[in-house]
Amino acid sequence: MILLKRLDPQNQVDHPESLDYLRRAYKREKQARKAAEVVIEEKSTQLYLINKKLEQLNQSLEQQVIQRTKELEEARNKAEELARTKQQFLANMSHEIRTPMNAIVGFTDLLLKTNPSEKQSTYLEAIRLSSANLLVIINDILDLSKLESGKFTLETIEFNIRCTLKALVYSFEKQAAAKGITLNFSIDENVSDPLMGDPVRLQQILANLLSNALKFTEYGSVSLSCRCVKEDDLFQHIQFKVEDTGIGIEQEKLALIFESFTQADNSVSRLYGGTGLGLAITKELVELFKGTIEVESAKGERTVFTVTIPLSKATVSPEVVHANHDRSADHGWQEFRTRRILAVEDNEFNRLLLKAMIDGKGVTCDFATNGREAIERLSEVEYDLVLMDVQMPVMDGIQATRQIRDVLNLGIPVIALTANALPENRETYLKAGFTDCLTKPFLESELLEKMTTHLKLSVVPGNPASEIFQVHLNQLKRLDKGDGFYEKSIQMLVESFGEAMRFLEQENPGGRLEKIKTHLHAIKSHVKLLGAFEMYDAIVQVESLSNDPLNHDRLRSMLGKIVSHGKSLITFLEKELETSSVV
């Protein structure tokens, strides 16, 4: 803006040139202002259009994000639904196959005990082996599915690695002898006992490798060796080697053998059978242990699998699992002459199988075809044990067992007979009130072992079944090197049980469930150490209880059982301590 100088009115002179200059200046200013306004207008319009476009882009991006999020959510839901469908299908498949397989395996086992002719034995053995192969395939598929879904977890308990490996090798001796193959086993003295880990899955890893080694070896030997290759204050890195003199694997095929449904050669499947899942599952299990697996092989000469797994050292009293003692059909059945069992099974062939397995053992066995019939019988007759199928019409085993606990208020052992082999099923059954589980198909010896365990412990609550406990204590006694370890361990057990029993006997258990669980957890491993299986299962059931809502009657019943067995254990241990001190 041009400022005009104010002239003194007395000296103001009308100069035409000055006016013309001012007019031109004013005109230029006006034109400049107009041009500026046009530019500003254009820039404003451009800015508006840019903002509008940005707004549209933002809205479009938001819509795309919303749409993409929706698509991802739908894809995730679909994947989860497919996973659930797959899992349900596998569970159903397992159940539908295992149910008839139970009759096939069970009756074959019974027939093999009837002194059949040589020809009949051959046929029966063929049936038995074919059934066993089918079960391996079913279990492999279930395990692979669990591993792929990320829901497969390892247990961490104390176990005696020497007993575990010896039992595993022993289970393959018959197979090796039948093929004329030498089966070797060695374990270095530097391997600690006990260790912490999952002995069942460790056995599965080594069983897969030993099974393959025996399958692909026609002559020579198969060896399992175990040694500690690295050690620190907390862990021992244990190396297991399975070596055979079998057909070997070509070098270019070694990288493929750990893939699912893959074998080194298609002819292998035709000659030796199998699905190609065993090594894939083995590798997945080894990685769950945070371990490694390697393979070396020379075609036509040998194969060596090397598995290295870190296992933590045990810090409390040694718990021996897989104790190799016999609690089978011939052990103490004369004590059960007055015992009465209720078997609940809807499948006619499985009822016939149960009857055949139990007959001659002196136990009175009644049958029901569904859960409702079982509840009616239990309301009228006093039984010592119930064998309960899980999937039945009218009322299933889970509903029936809940009524046994919550309505009838009965604390008798209830063993689930189930074709569902998935690990989470056992937890579901224990929470529902089952005492134990037996997976179909099962052998006569497996059924009678379960019955022996629970009938013995349920006959007289105060009877500590000392012959069972003594077997487990003998394992502990072998670790004593003359330094009083055994007596100190017994004394510690007595003190632990005494403290827990004094707390559990207090009144009003409902308001202190978490403290009860804490005390039970402190003695849980000791209970399992001594082989007090019913007491152990009762502890597991209490641990599964919730405050919302809390079944006080069931809690009191379980605690009464635990205290009764606990006191018996204390009496037994005190006598053992006294005897040991005298010696």
Please work out, in degrees rounded to the nearest 5, the angle formed at the alpha carbon of residue 311 by the alpha carbons of 159 and 174. 55
C-alpha span between 303 and 385 (Å, rounded): 49
Helix crossing, 552-582 with 397-406: angle to 10°? 80
Q: Within its chain, how far is the Cα of 343 from the centroid?
A: 27
Distant-in-sequence contacts of 8-13, Cβ < 8 A, 24+ apart: none
Closest CA to 224 of 249, 188, 178: 188
In this structure, the answer to whether residues 419 and 489 fall within a common structural domain is no
DSSP 255: G
| 222, 354: one domain | no
Gap between the Cα atoms of 278 and 295, Å rounded:
14
Same domain membership, residue 454 and residue 366: yes
The closest of 393, 418, 413, 384 to 401, measured between CA atoms, is 413
Determine the Cα–Cα distance for residues 344 and 383; give it in Å rounded to an integer. Answer: 13
The reply to whether 120 falls in a domain is: yes
Residue with tokens 């099923």: 425
Do 397 and 436 contact (CB within 8 A), yes or no?
Answer: no
Q: Residue 549: what are its φ and ψ, rounded to 5°?
A: -90, 160
Do residues 286 and 205 make contact, with C-beta atoms less than 8 angstroms apart? Answer: yes
Q: Is the dihedral of CA 97, 100, 104, 105 positive or negative?
A: positive
Which residues touch 372 (CB under 8 Å, ≥6 apart)?
394, 395, 400
User: Which amino acid appears at position 338 of this protein?
Assistant: T
- What whole-number distance in Å separates Cα of residue 32 and Cα of residue 25? 10
Same-domain pairing of 234 and 372: no
Q: How many domains does the chain have?
A: 4
Looking at the structure, tell me whether residues 59 and 175 fall in a common domain: no
Instruction: Give, for 244, the enclosing helix (H) or strand (E).
Output: strand 235-244
Q: Quick one: 472 and 453 in the same domain?
A: no
Q: Are residues 299 and 165 in the same domain?
A: yes
Residues 6+ apart with CB under 8 A from 65: none
- Let me know whether 165 and 309 are in one domain: yes
**Residue among 140, 142, 141, 107 nearest 124 (CA):** 107
pTM equals 0.46
User: Do the domain assignments include residue 7?
Assistant: no
Q: DSSP secondary-structure letter at 182?
A: E
DSSP assignment of 410-465: ----EEEEES---HHHHHHHHHHT-SEEEESS--HHHHHHHHHHHHHHHH-TT---
pLDDT of residue 322: 36
Identity of the amino acid at 108: T
Q: Distance between CA 101 and CA 334 in Å, rounded?
A: 31
CATH of the domain at 522: 1.20.120
pLDDT for the residue numbered 308: 92
**Alpha-carbon distance 201 to 199, whole Å?**
6
Which residue's entry shows tokens 């809502």? 549
Triad 68, 70, 73: Cα angle to 5°: 110
Residue 14 lies in a domain: no
Q: List Cβ neighbours of 72 (8 Å cut-off, separation of 6 or more).
A: none
Q: Identify the CA nearest to 572 among candidates 460, 452, 454, 462.
A: 462
Region of 181 on the Ramachandran plot (φ > 0 left; ψ -120 to 50 alpha; else beta): beta
End-to-end Cα spacing for the chain:
121
Q: What does the pLDDT read at residue 81?
A: 80
Residue length, the chain? 583
In a domain, 321, yes or no: no
Domain CATH code at residue 365: 3.40.50.2300
- CATH at residue 71: 1.10.287.130
Of 409, 425, 458, the residue at which a domain comes to its end is 458
pLDDT of residue 226: 92
Residue-by-residue pLDDT tens, the chain, 583 positions: 444 444 444 444 455 567 787 888 888 888 888 888 888 888 888 888 888 888 888 888 888 888 888 888 888 888 878 777 776 676 666 666 777 777 787 888 888 878 888 778 777 877 776 777 677 667 666 666 666 666 666 777 777 888 778 877 877 887 888 888 888 988 888 888 788 888 878 888 888 888 888 888 888 889 999 999 888 878 889 999 999 888 887 777 777 777 654 544 544 444 444 445 667 778 888 888 889 988 888 887 888 999 999 988 875 443 333 333 333 334 445 555 678 899 999 888 888 888 888 877 778 889 999 999 999 999 999 998 999 998 888 899 999 999 998 888 888 889 998 877 565 677 788 888 888 888 887 878 788 888 887 876 433 333 334 445 555 566 566 556 666 767 777 888 888 888 888 888 775 655 677 788 888 877 877 776 676 766 777 787 787 776 666 667 677 777 877 888 888 888 888 887 777 665 5
Residues 478 and 573 occupy one common structural domain: yes
Does residue 472 sit within a domain?
yes
Q: What is the pLDDT of residue 388?
A: 92
> HSE-up of 45 (CA within 13 Å, CB side)?
6
Nearest to 376 by CA among 404, 415, 412, 335: 404
State the CATH number of the domain containing residue 279. 3.30.565.10
**Structural domain harbouring 234:** 161-313
Residue 11 falls inside a structural domain: no
What is the sign, positive or negative, of the torsion defined by CA atoms of 313, 317, 319, 325?
Answer: positive
Domain contains 562: yes
Q: What is the pLDDT of residue 325?
A: 36
Residue 107: inside a domain = yes
Last residue of a domain, one of 458, 489, 519: 458
Can you give the three-state secondary structure of 373-386, one letter per residue? HHHHHHHHCCCCEE
Measured CA angle at 199 (ends 195, 204), to 5 deg: 145
- Per the listing, tokens 């309505």 go with 407
Evaluate whether 343 touches 368 at the Cβ level (below 8 Å).
Answer: yes
